[in-house]
Amino acid sequence: MKKYGIIVICSLFLISTIGQVVYAGDELDPEIDDPESDVLLFGLMPAPFVNHFMKHIDILSGWFHEDVNNPDTIYTTLKFRDYKPCKLLVIYAIFWYYNDSSYAAFAMMARGKDYLIGVQINDTNLIEIDDMYTINQNNNTITFAIPKELIGNPQPGEMLENPFGLAAIRFVSDSLANLLIRFVSSNILFADLTFNGMDYQIQY
């Protein structure tokens, strides 16, 4: 059931557009730049009350970065309007394309505890990884540390293309989700899906 949940979410939101290129991202020059207060009900429609209460899933930006002292890992960070732990089932994820494959790094948390963490490849191949992310609540960020060998081992000069972020609150009850999915074609309650960002060029 865990795998089904993440696959449905990834399949629902995985999209592609032609991106621009940035050679090295950081908080001041991120690959992903997303408007404030754009969380949607069911991930589909705006609702006046949503953004007042959903600051912790309102993505503002996202970026890739690397460490010359740890070249076998790539890091990616999502920044939120006001991060705080969520008691509901929440997912934080960043997606991209490399070498004709789609990738996603994600963390699913239920009631403030880890539920499922890992990397997903082409919507189906799920690799669970413990301790893959860190949260900085003071900076309102979550950062994933991803072994490059799990994402095709990209080499210096190659591109990670069309990145975008997702933060969503999923129905806690699978039976309720399965009932409502007939009407809203989604198993999520609230979501912020960013625009596609600029491509990132591998440095090390």
Confidence bin at 15 (pLDDT 50/70/90): very low
Strands (E), the chain: 21-22, 32-33, 40-41, 59-66, 73-80, 89-98, 101-110, 113-121, 125-128, 133-136, 141-147, 159-170, 188-193, 199-201
d(CA 185, CA 165): 20
pTM here?
0.84
Digit-coded pLDDT (tens) for 154-198: 999 999 999 999 999 986 655 444 444 444 445 778 999 998 999
The answer, yes or no, to whether residue 201 has pLDDT greater than 80, is yes
51-60, 106-115, 178-187: the lowest-pLDDT one: 178-187
Mean pLDDT of 16-42: 78
d(CA 200, CA 115): 29
Mean pLDDT of 13-26: 55
Q: Are 91 and 115 in contact (CB under 8 A)?
A: no
Mean pLDDT of the chain: 83
